[in-house]
A = this chain, B = another copy of it.
Amino acid sequence: MTRIRVLLADDHDLFRSGVRRLLESAAGLEVVGEARTGQDAVRLVEELAPDIVLLDISMPGASGIDAARLIKTTSPRTGVIMLTVHADEEFLFEAIKAGAMGYLLKDASAEELVRAIQVIYEGEGLLAPTMAAKVMREFARTRETRDLGRILTPLTHREVEILQHVAAGLANKEIAHKLSISERTVKNHLSNIMEKLHVNSRTQAAVYALRSGLVPPEGG
Hey, which bits of chain A sit against chain B, CB under 8 A? Answer: 166-169, 171, 199, 201-204, 206-207, 210-211, 217-219
Contacts and interface: CB of A to CB of B under 8 A. Distances in A.
Given A199-B169, A201-B171, A217 B206 contact: no
Contacts of A206: 203, 206-207
Contacts of A199: 169
20 contacts: A167-B203, A167-B207, A168-B207, A169-B199, A169-B201, A169-B203, A169-B204, A169-B207, A171-B201, A202-B203, A203-B206, A206-B206, A206-B207, A207-B219, A210-B210, A210-B211, A210-B217, A211-B217, A211-B218, A217-B217
- Most-contacted residue by chain B among A171, A202, A203 (CB, 10 A): A203
A201 B173 CA distance: 13
Contacts of A207: 167-169, 206, 210, 219
Contacts of A202: 203
Top-4 shortest CB links A-B = A169-B204, A203-B203, A203-B206, A210-B210
A167 B171 CA distance: 17
Contacts of A219: 207, 211
Given A169-B207, A211-B218, 6 more contacts: A168-B207, A169-B199, A169-B203, A203-B203, A206-B206, A207-B210
A117 to B, nearest CB: 30
A168 B169 CA distance: 15
A217 B219 CA distance: 14
Nearest to A166: B203
A179 B51 CA distance: 49
